[in-house]
Every structure is written in C-alpha cells, then in structure tokens.
Amino acid sequence: MESFTAKNSVKLLKLLLVFKLFRFRRLNKAYDLAGTISRHIEAHLGGIRITDGFAKVTSLFFWALILAHWIGCFNFMLVQSYDFPDDSWVVAAGLDEETPVVQWSFALFKALAAMIVIGFET
C-alpha cells in the first residue's frame, strides 16, 4: 500500500475544498431575489404577468445549470488531481493546456451531455 505523502495530502485538501461548492444559502438568496424581481415586474409594469408555471420552469432550468456546473467542475477536478492521465477525456480533447474558460465550458458541455444522455460516446 502506498504511504501517505505530501502529494496525497494536497489531493485530500483539494477534495475537501469541494465542499465549498455547497453554498446553498447563497443560491437560495439568488432564488429569492428572482422572486422579488418577478413581483417587482408584475407590480410596476402592470400588464406583464409572470405565471407560476414559467417561474417553476425557470427555477428548474437554473438548478439544472447549477448541477451541471458542479458535475463538470468535479469531473475536471478528479482528472486534474491525477495529473491529467493520457487516457483521460481532458487530454483527449486537448484541454490540459487551454485557458480555464475553455476548460470550464467543455466540462460544462460534457456534464450537460451526460445529464441528457447524449454524450456517452463522445
């Protein structure tokens, strides 16, 4: 069995930092702000009515994007913690030397593709 080295402790620390993702309180505040904006639009623009169905679909879309972001970042972090193995999806796509924005957008795409079951062959 491999001994506990400094490299392993850094990997463990990175894994513990993942729990910072779960800041539901901030997300809940953003959701409440969306409701406040919706009520403000209805009150001040008179003729515009935002239905409950639209609000629920918008909420579902928002939470799906948040979940896809978490899945994409977690998958990228796992590959990064193993120093980008040659057979990983990051190296296969040539993302190991790209900018963080390109890496994030591709990781988000892969997560969305997996969530809607179109990306298992890519």
pLDDT digits (tens, 9 = 90+) for 81-99: 888 999 999 999 999 889 9
pLDDT in tens, 3-54: 556 666 777 666 666 666 566 666 677 777 777 877 777 777 776 777 878 8
Contacts of 33 (CB under 8 A, 6+ apart): none
| 42, two tokens | 């209805």
Cβ atoms of residues 70 and 21 within 8 Å: yes
- Amino acid letter, 68: A
Cβ atoms of residues 104 and 61 within 8 Å: no
pLDDT in tens, 96-111: 889 999 999 999 999 9
Q: How confident is the model at residue 1 (pLDDT cuts 50, 70, 90)?
A: very low
